[in-house]
Amino acid sequence: MLTDPFQRDITYLRLSVTDRCDFRCLYCMSEQMTFLPKKELLTLEELDRLCSTFIRLGVQKLRITGGEPLVRRDIMTFFKAMSRHLDSGALKELTLTTNGSQLERFADDLAACGVKRINISLDTLDEAKFAHITRWGRLPQVLRGIDAAQKAGLRVKINTVALKGFNEDELFPLAEWCAARDMDLTFIEVMPMGDIEPDRLDQYWALDDLRGTLASRYTLTDLAERTGGPARYVRLEETGQKIGFITPLTHNFCESCNRVRITCTGEIYTCLGQEGKSDLRKPLRASEADAPLEEAIHAAIALKPKGHDFDYSRQSEGGKMTRHMSHTGG
């Protein structure tokens, strides 16, 4: 029911429930972030109504993001509300991306709400390097969260941003650690989002190079599998594990884009790498009837661009977005 101008069906919604986070990752946020006034955020009830409308219009996968979604007060109330769409069969998957800091508290509750798999952002297994890259983070707390998630029966996938000069030397240890714990692993190229230090050109590690390094030790078999996101997957034959590559710079994946992102204030971005947005908060609050909201959603989807313009090839941050990743949601 939601089809963009390039005949791509929109079945995947990524919803940010907060712009706040308990980490300040170097490639994602400034150390002294200015966050939105809480009064500007959609209420949990409004988030419910917004998501329910998208599900009625054909969205089958809902991913909750932030900031860090689990720092939003009473967020489990929202997850419990969304579980009714899983029970009805209208929603095929409810999941989230998290930094893992709050999983020790919430893993069991998430499983009880019907969440079956989660993505955890983790760029290093070195405690000192972790403290550096996250500025505020504590690795043991995240590792306890991963333990709790697996104990609760959640399927864990680790997302690692490939950073030149930072975690190049951890490629094999990360892969082996994930294999030993039966966790999938996806590498992501650093994207030009927001004004941050240091220079992302110095951080950029092309995943073609990373894949070549992996192939020096393992036999890589390409997989046809898709999970509704932009990752392309291989199997490491020696370990049997699945490795994903998200390559917005090396290989543009926009031709198969089936997703839109909504911020915690009700702005819809139909492309992560474009500034275009539409306001859904106004029609959401203007009427108790859903017709104005549905009309606004269809109008926004009609503006979805063909793709993003991220480019580092000219030794500059081509296609750079002014907003931080935490504003849109990862």
260: CATH: 3.20.20.70
* H helix or E strand, kind and range, residue 179: helix 171-180
Between CA 247 and CA 5 the distance in angstroms is 24
Structure tokens at 139: 């690795």
Whole-number Cα distances in Å, 193 to 83, 91, 150, 248, 272: 32, 30, 32, 12, 9
Low-confidence stretches of the chain (pLDDT < 70) are: 191-202, 227-229, 249-254, 273, 307-330
Helix (H, G, I), strand (E, B) or coil at 62: strand
Looking at residue 197, its pLDDT comes to: 54
* Tens digits of residue pLDDT in 311-320: 444 444 444 4
Residue 211 belongs to a domain: no
Residue 1 belongs to a domain: no
Structure tokens at 283: 């029609």
* Tens digits of residue pLDDT in 109-147: 999 999 999 999 999 999 999 999 999 899 999 999 999
Residue 180 belongs to a domain: no
Looking at residue 267, its pLDDT comes to: 96
Between CA 245 and CA 215 the distance in angstroms is 14
Residue 29 belongs to a domain: yes
Residue 291 belongs to a domain: yes
CB 42 within 8 A of CB 264: yes
Between CA 311 and CA 313 the distance in angstroms is 6
Looking at residue 29, its pLDDT comes to: 77
Looking at residue 330, its pLDDT comes to: 57
Nearest to 87 by CA among 65, 113, 62: 113
Number of domains the chain is built from: 1
Cα-Cα end-to-end distance for the chain:
25
Q: What is the pTM of this model?
A: 0.88
Residue 129 belongs to a domain: yes
Domain, as residue range, for 27: 12-157+254-328
Residue 263 belongs to a domain: yes
Residue 187 belongs to a domain: no
Looking at residue 65, its pLDDT comes to: 96
Looking at residue 205, its pLDDT comes to: 86
